Structure 1
Amino acid sequence: MKNNLIAWDIAETDFPSQGSIKDKLKFLIGYAILAPSGHNTQPWLFKLSEYSIRIFADRTRALPVIDPDDRELIISCGAALCNILVSSKYFGMNLDVKYFPVDGDMDLLAELSYTGETERTELDEKPFGAIVKRHTNRLPFAEQEIDGLILQKFETIASEEKVTLKVVYNEEIKEEIIKLIEKGDRLQAQNKSFCRELAQWVHPNRSNTSDGIPGYAFGMGDLISYTGPFFIGNLDWGNIQAGRDRNLVVGSPVLGVFESNDDKPEDWIAVGVALERLLLTAASEGIAASYLNQPVEVPELKEQLKNILKINGYPQLIMRLGYGKEVKPTPRRNIEDVILKDS
């Protein structure tokens, strides 16, 4: 396995059961870094102490064009936080979470403090096992419906995190959302700043970079993957992407749209936690997901999306869900690169 994929080889048998609490907490960060993030920027940092982990937003990895408020950045950090909570339960560690524990420090998103041992339950096993299986799948899905009970479970997960998941399987509503996605593709492709930003995070298949999106994640072969960054940064690819996204949505049994009551960092973290909980539950059932968030990212389309879905809150994320072929993982940074050292 390439060095930039080694993080996915984490083994539960390596958990330092005889080590210190700090050693155990550090091990959990190995699962945190497997969370999804926009353009695979991995915008998180962690600070370890003897009995706690602090999670920071790494704004040096922000995407100012597509994500000017760092909304998706913080959602990504919420997903990483979720992986810590899931893995801590599996290893019998109880963690207390405080969000924004230091007034005025909006980079410090959460502090997770060890409060003692806890018993692992059967309910802890499936989501934990899915952490290393969950990979964003940008390829077509199979023509297979998702059981209604599973979709209800997804909705329950969202409500437990005090956000809402709108499951969309009505073909007329899907078609209206598809049209917004197509508009978003064309508008983003015409924005040169957006194209340059995206091109910086798309890499050839054989690249050794530890972040960003390799061409194989889009179904590109090795040779064509070398042209990806140039194509994205210099040509108008809007119509091509719009057609591709239409086919992806039409071939997906359902769409899921996350909605929050407010639009503040606290809400974004909650969406991230709910998202990763859903993705882990989905992965344990063999269900994959990818994102089509253009109608949320393009301001003039967001209000239209709200009207289509008849929601009063704030749409945060659009995903498609379905059964697909197994895909390769994307690169991850080394755990030592995301842990802040004492100054």
Structure 2
Amino acid sequence: MRSDTSKDEVSKVALTADERRILYFASLAPSGHNTQPWFIQHIEPLHWIICNDKSKWLPAVDPMQRETILSIGAFIQNLEYAADYLGYRCQFSLIASNNQDEKVMSVQLIRSGNQFKYNVETIVQRRTIRSNILSAGLKIEHIRQLIDNEPDLIHFIPHKTKSYYDLNEQTIEANKIQSYRNPAQKELADWIRFSSKDAEKYGDGLTTGSMEIEGISGWVVRNFYGKSNVMGKNFRNQNINQVEKQVASSAGWFLITSKDNSVSSLIETGRRMQRLFLKVKEKGIAIHPMTQILEEPSIYQSLNASIGLNDPIQFVLRTGYVKDYPEPVSLRRTVDQLVRMI
């Protein structure tokens, strides 16, 4: 178990050991501001409903819950890989008809004779990397492996192309807009866990570690910052300056599209993103989701035309090699906090 995951409390639901392990691995999926917008309705052993947790929505940056469903898709992909690791196959049935429905997907786990065992250590070690991404070009074989025969849905925009520079500029502009859009900034402030006490209490949200605010700066933020500081001009400008530095150094961008914006397409796109994300560490490649372009309408409305894509863009991922791959640091709620009785 990762060191940044709290110890489980006594569960109100009698989970089997396999259920507990599968849900732990599933819970390591990424989500905006690390809100972890999912919970499990436990129907019976090995039969659950994966649900949309409305208390974890981000209405200021994700008013239609598009990102929420994408995150649940990533959760589902982790769940399937973990089930496979423990010798189960998943029987899924979509329930939700829109992004706001609480019940999203039914899943039954069935014992299988599958000899393939997915390496769940890739799930444990996955992390977002924001800093020290190199500009050296990605190897052709690595790009091919990450696109994985889905060139119509996963698009690589290499360094020094026009589209690359367009994405850099649009990302900076979107961050400037969002940093000074008060509802979005307040929402960010609400999800930052400044103290160790808050981090332990909530088990979700952003920490100085996950935001890569390190050294003396990290110590100052942990001990002297609060929500009011996030709303101040200095914090906003520091964020914009950091984004400018980040986009100035990368090998390019991965864009992941979907055929439409239906619930089923968003779930599959979230799964697709997670499959890509879980392949990168062994290649020494970092992934940094930068979603602000998709969250600010004045920027998003011209995005497809500037890149030359027709289908909806669901993920904008900055990427490149890194010399050192840091350990994962994002908080996680306990398995028992995820599970509810029907």
CA distance in 2 between partners of 1:258 and 1:64 (Å): 22
CA distance in 2 between partners of 1:105 and 1:194 (Å): 20
1:25 aligns with 2:13: no
Partner of 1:12: none
Partner of 1:244: 242
Q: SS of the counterpart of 2:261?
A: coil
Q: SS of the counterpart of 1:212?
A: coil
Residue type of the alignment partner of 1:276: Q
1:168 aligns with 2:157: yes
Counterpart mapping for 1:172-191 below 5 A: 172-191=162-181
1:73 aligns with 2:68: yes
Q: Deviations over 1:29-59 (max 9, x none)?
A: 0101111110000110012222322110101
CA distance in 2 between partners of 1:102 and 1:304 (Å): 28
- Of the three residues 20, 35, 42, the one matched with 2:36 is 42
Residue type of the alignment partner of 1:175: Y
Distance of aligned partners of 1:2 and 1:261 in 2 relative to their CA distance in 1, 3 Å threshold: closer
CA distance in 2 between partners of 1:101 and 1:41 (Å): 20
Equivalent residue pairs, number: 325
Partner of 2:95: 100
Counterpart mapping for 1:85-164 below 5 A: 85-100=80-95, 106-121=101-116, 124-125=118-119, 128-156=120-148, 158=150, 164=153
CA distance in 1 between partners of 2:293 and 2:226 (Å): 24
Q: SS of the counterpart of 1:35?
A: coil
Deviation at 1:206, TM superposition (A): 2.9
**Residues 43, 58 of structure 1: 8 Å contact kept:** yes
Distance of aligned partners of 1:79 and 1:103 in 2 relative to their CA distance in 1, 3 Å threshold: closer
Residue type of the alignment partner of 2:133: F
**Unaligned stretches of 5+ residues in structure 1:** 10-19
Deviation at 1:252, TM superposition (A): 1.1
CA distance in 1 between partners of 2:327 and 2:226 (Å): 19
Distance of aligned partners of 1:157 and 1:75 in 2 relative to their CA distance in 1, 3 Å threshold: farther
Partner of 1:63: 58
Deviation at 1:242, TM superposition (A): 3.2
Residue type of the alignment partner of 2:108: S
Q: Which has the higher contact order (CA 8 A, sep 6+)?
A: 2
CA distance in 2 between partners of 1:69 and 1:181 (Å): 21
**Residues 99, 111 of structure 1: 8 Å contact kept:** yes
1:302 aligns with 2:300: yes
1:223 aligns with 2:220: yes
Partner of 1:210: 203
Deviation at 1:259, TM superposition (A): 0.9
CA distance in 1 between partners of 2:264 and 2:285 (Å): 28
CA distance in 2 between partners of 1:276 and 1:254 (Å): 18
What is the Cα-based RMSD across aligned positions, in Å? 2.7
Distance of aligned partners of 1:143 and 1:205 in 2 relative to their CA distance in 1, 3 Å threshold: farther
Deviation at 1:84, TM superposition (A): 0.7
CA distance in 1 between partners of 2:155 and 2:177 (Å): 25
CA distance in 1 between partners of 2:66 and 2:338 (Å): 20
Residue type of the alignment partner of 1:247: K
Partner of 1:269: 267
Residue type of the alignment partner of 1:136: T
Distance of aligned partners of 1:138 and 1:276 in 2 relative to their CA distance in 1, 3 Å threshold: same
Deviation at 1:76, TM superposition (A): 0.8
CA distance in 2 between partners of 1:291 and 1:189 (Å): 17
Deviation at 1:105, TM superposition (A): 8.6
Deviates more, 1:323-332 or 1:235-244: 235-244
TM-score, with structure 2 as normaliser? 0.86
Deviates more, 1:67-76 or 1:263-272: 263-272
Deviation at 1:3, TM superposition (A): 7.7
CA distance in 1 between partners of 2:277 and 2:172 (Å): 25
**Residues 212, 331 of structure 1: 8 Å contact kept:** yes
Distance of aligned partners of 1:186 and 1:47 in 2 relative to their CA distance in 1, 3 Å threshold: same
**Residues 209, 329 of structure 2: 8 Å contact kept:** no
CA distance in 2 between partners of 1:95 and 1:39 (Å): 28
CA distance in 2 between partners of 1:257 and 1:120 (Å): 33
Deviates more, 1:87-96 or 1:64-73: 87-96
CA distance in 2 between partners of 1:247 and 1:101 (Å): 40
Residue type of the alignment partner of 1:337: Q
Deviation at 1:104, TM superposition (A): 11
**Residues 83, 109 of structure 2: 8 Å contact kept:** no
CA distance in 1 between partners of 2:310 and 2:155 (Å): 12
Residue type of the alignment partner of 2:171: I
